[in-house]
Amino acid sequence: MVKKIKKIQIFRHIIQLIMFVLSPGLFILAFSELKSIYTMIIKGNFNFITAFPSLIEFTTVIIVTIFLGRFFCGWVCAFGSYNDFIYLLSKKVFKINFKVNEDVDKILKYVKYVVLLLLVVVVWTMGSKVLDTTSPWDAFAQITNFPQVLFNYTIGVALLLLITIGALFVERFFCRYLCPLGAVFNILSRIGILKIKKPTDKCGKCRLCTNNCSMGLSLYKAQSVCGGDCINCFKCIEACPRSNTKINVLGENVNPQLASSVAIAAMVGLYAANNLGAATLKNSGLATVSNTTTTTDSSSRTASTEDTNTKTATTSNTYKDGTYTGSGSGFHGGTTQMSVTIKNNKITKVETVSNGDTPDFYARAESTIISQIISTQSTTVDTVSGATYSSEGIISATQEALSKAKA
């Protein structure tokens, strides 16, 4: 019997590969922005309009996740794709066929909530630097510069290696048990309009849906699944020999290829619209610097100096009015040139003259770091996680420009 070509999985893997190449750090950017929202809320200075330009990735992902489910996890997230590719390699090449006990799997899935809680309490709230150089997802996001990543994130690389070993034996190992962003999505995606319906009275005893589920869900017991741990990979749809498993949107069964195409198009379209909106806000002057007190995630290098001390130390310098330029080294050693304008002994404008960084990462670092420098009147500011080298290039270039401005 000739096996049926799994068109949805081919389409999904193509999307995954494209996003893996184009935006390997999208996961960490979205998670960094979640931390930024939390920080602003607990400090009582959250304003979505002013914060929006630096929250594009998270805003896009969370809207799609709430309404359509976890397509980001199943189709777009490069770290999830990495887990998929590793497991595919183990299954096809090394012929590994390891299965986690169903009861053990259920217990282990609670670990990601513990990871999220620890990050929120220890790192985000208490300001611990314990994960500054130990983040596996930061190491992964910048893995193309392996020698420097190995030096800066030695423990992070070691943890990434352990996650890789886990992914060889358990499909979506990180996503199932460790992903803190997945823990957030698990909760919020349960109110979506897209469901996977599977009437159990029409099922046989094959359990192919369960055996093919990327997240190890006990689908043979379920009448329907809406969000939660489901990442909308649709492997259960193509595995069902009776075509009993259906995609249902607002009570109507829809073609899974159409549903996935619409979801990906919605994510791309919303991302483009958000970028346009952010640019409009920035150009209109509505996006102020008040939202940028902190914008790093658990693995960012945080500044220990209090804002008031920083401002005092900075304003003690005497600067000559004018515009000055400086250079710094960014990602892959690329040169970053910054222009700094001084007026009445104040930093009034910081602009990029040129840079040799990856555009997406540099854009995220640029909007955040510049706002922080102007807001605090200091270059002692937080770097943006997942764009650490880009951040440091901007900071060092600005420092050089300021050194030229000293009277």
Intervals of CATH 3.90.1010.20 along the chain: 303-405
Q: What is the rounded CA–CA span in Å between residue 5 and residue 243? A: 15
Q: What is the separation, in whole angstroms, between the first and last Cα of the chain? A: 82
Q: What is the rounded distance in angstroms from the CA atom of residue 403 to the CA atom of residue 140?
A: 35
Q: Helix, strand, coil % (nearest 5) of the chain?
A: 60, 10, 30
Q: What's the chain's Rg over C-alpha atoms? A: 23
Helix (H, G, I), strand (E, B) or coil at 8: helix
Tokens for 316, please give them.
């003690």
pLDDT tens-digit readout, 241-276: 999 999 999 989 999 999 999 999 999 999 888 878
**Exposure of 316 by Cβ count < 10 A (0-12 exposed, 13-18 middle, 19+ buried)?**
exposed
Q: pLDDT-based confidence at 132, cuts 50/70/90? A: low
Residue 310 has pLDDT above 90, yes or no: no
Q: What is the pLDDT of residues 48-78, one digit of tens each?
A: 887 787 788 899 999 999 999 999 999 999 9
The rounded mean pLDDT for the chain is 84
Cα distances (Å, whole numbers) of residue 45 to 41, 48, 159, 287, 293: 6, 10, 35, 14, 9
In this structure, the number of other CB atoms found within 10 A of the CB of residue 401 comes to: 25
- What letter does residue 3 receive in the DSSP assignment? P
387: which DSSP letter? Answer: -
Kindly report the pTM of this predicted structure: 0.77
Topology annotation, domain 303-405: Sufe protein. Chain: A (3.90.1010)
Place of tokens 């990856």: 358
Best CA proximity match to 361, nearest among 79, 130, 32, 14:
32
Provide the pLDDT for residue 46.
Answer: 84
SS (H, E, C) 194-213: EEEECCHHHCCCCCHHHHHC
**Other beta carbons within 10 Å of 309:** 12
